[in-house]
Amino acid sequence: MDSRLRLIAINPVDRLARTIEALLVVASAPLSVGELAHATQDEPERVEAALELLRDRYAEERSGIVLEEVAGGFAFRASRDASEACARLFERPVDRGLSQAALETLAIIAYLGPCSRPEIARIRGVAADSAVASLVERGLVAEAGRERGAGGAVRYRTTPLFERVFGLESLASLPRLDDLAADREELRERLLEVAAARVS
């Protein structure tokens, strides 16, 4: 903390904040602290301090522009107050009309990725080809190498755009599957009951 205070005293963080502000205006995807430090040729700690300043300045309901931490970086977005006006002028082709199959496929790739289409099909019990193709087209998932061995299936992972569209700081911000899960023990009991009835 002391060192940060000292640095701020040498070069006011406000000036750095202005440069960062400019970079974020130019950017069309979130910028990480590392990228901002590289562009401003400044210390990451000072960049973080400047971002803190900007976060306060561009908080929701304080400005038409909001600074958010999303997809592993920082980005400006429109304030929620302006969303209706935005919707009148712009479209959101990325997430418009996402089907249930596409959402399930997306969930599998987000939680278990990188994974291949056969793996997705095994979990969902139906072919995932068209759902994966639709997600790739939207830019929500992308190819991430192949499975091992000759002729290995292409594996997919989610993109930074996915995190951005869903407003996630990173994939780590997804809720734990255990919190969402059904009671496995209960399911097992029910299956065993059916099995027992079948044998008797």
Residue numbers at the binding site for other proteins (CB under 8 A): 26-29, 31, 35, 39, 68, 75-78, 80, 82-84, 86-87, 90, 92, 94-95, 98, 100, 103-104, 106-108, 110-112, 123-125, 161, 164-167, 174-175, 177, 180-182, 184, 187-188, 191-192, 194-195, 198-199
Of the pair 59, 103, the CB lying nearest other proteins is at 103
Min dist. Cβ of residue 40 to other proteins (A) = 12
| 132 versus 165: smaller Cβ distance to other proteins | 165
Token pair 């869903």: residue = 166
CB of 73 to other proteins, least distance (A): 10
Question: Can you list the positions of beta strands (E) in 79-174?
Answer: 115-116, 141-146, 154-158
How far apart are alpha carbons 196 and 135 in whole angstroms? 43
The torsion angle over the Cα atoms of residues 123, 129, 135 and 138, rounded to 10 degrees, is 180
CA-to-CA dists, residue 17 to 62, 76, 83, 150, angstroms: 17, 14, 26, 51
Q: Least separation, in Å, of the C-beta of 10 and other proteins?
A: 27
CA-CA distance, 158 to 146, in Å (whole number)? Answer: 15
Minimum CB separation of residue 159 from other proteins in Å reads 11
The residue among 12 and 190 lying less far from other proteins, judged by its C-beta, is: 190
